[in-house]
Amino acid sequence: MLYLRSLAFNLAFYVSLVVQMIFWTPFYFLSPRDRAWFVPKFWARTSLWLHRVLAGTRSEITGLENLPEGSFILAPKHQSFWDAIAFFPYLNDPLYILKRELTWIPFFGWYIMKMRMIPVDRGSRSKALKAVVAATRAEMARNPRQLIIYPEGTRRAPGDEPAYKYGIVEIYNQLGLPVVPVAHVAGLYWPRRKFMRYPGTIRARFLSPIPPGLGKEEFMARLIAETEEACDALLVEASRQPNPPPLPPTALRRLAELKAGACEKAG
């Protein structure tokens, strides 16, 4: 049954993407950007609804009161495709940094460029970072937007050792915007590079914003500490559910470390 529900969701997810992309094309490209945002946000909500109905996985996102007004940087933990679609319905005008090759995909690439995302060429990291900062400044000057950055760059398994990249420090330092960390363990339910989708409740939380103006090292230390502490709490909570999802080795190892640390404090 679990396999069949995962199959049903995966098929419905991609069919919904293609059908909606074609169906909404006239409205999307003939509408101004602020109205056109309805389409990708509706698709994201539809995808999460399919995830709940077909795979039995609910999404619960809290901490909305922590989202500032206007422009800011959203820094989610990156574990799953789920965290690529679950948050932007809550943002007024989200802004993604993505590989330029994605803009070459028919329909999908056209949708991306309509929303003025920031494509980046592969190559020198320093040149790419300068281009990202310049393009983001230009977008923020036109209207308030919310830049979504995954501090670890690539998807990592739940409980894995944190591997935060320095790029977010430079962007934070140069843009002078607050950063809202986002904690979750969605990789337990929608694993990276896996077919299976596990039932349960994905819980995510927008954490308190980190204000602009901190030193680079202080900012990085605070971002890692606050994000990882919240993710640890969500991992423990998920493991204690009556029917928890399968825990990967990284999650089991992290749970053992947390238990050992709690025993040391108690002792």
CB atoms within 10 A of CB 65: 7
Model confidence pLDDT, tens digit, residues 92-146: 999 998 888 888 888 888 899 999 998 887 666 667 788 888 888 888 888 899 9
What does the DSSP assignment read for 221-262? HHHHHHHHHHHHHHHHHHHTSSSPPPPPHHHHHHHHHHHHHH
Model confidence pLDDT, tens digit, residues 149-176: 999 988 999 999 999 998 899 999 999 9
Q: What is the mean pLDDT of residues 188-194?
A: 93
Unique residue bearing structure tokens 């989200």: 94
CB contact at 8 A, 44 and 89 = yes
108 phi and psi, to 5 degrees? -60, -45
Q: In 3D, which of 229, 232, 226 has the Cα closest to residue 254? A: 232
Please, which residues have CB within 8 angstroms of residue 265's CB and are 6 or more apart in sequence?
A: none
In percent, the amount of the chain with pLDDT more than 90 equals: 77
Please tell me the predicted confidence (pLDDT) of residue 267.
63
From residue 41, how far is each of 88, 126, 132, 250 by CA, in Å? 7, 32, 24, 32
Model confidence pLDDT, tens digit, residues 193-203: 899 999 999 99
From residue 66, how far is each of 21, 62, 146, 171 by CA, in Å? 32, 9, 13, 20
**Token pair in block for residue 108:** 């999908």
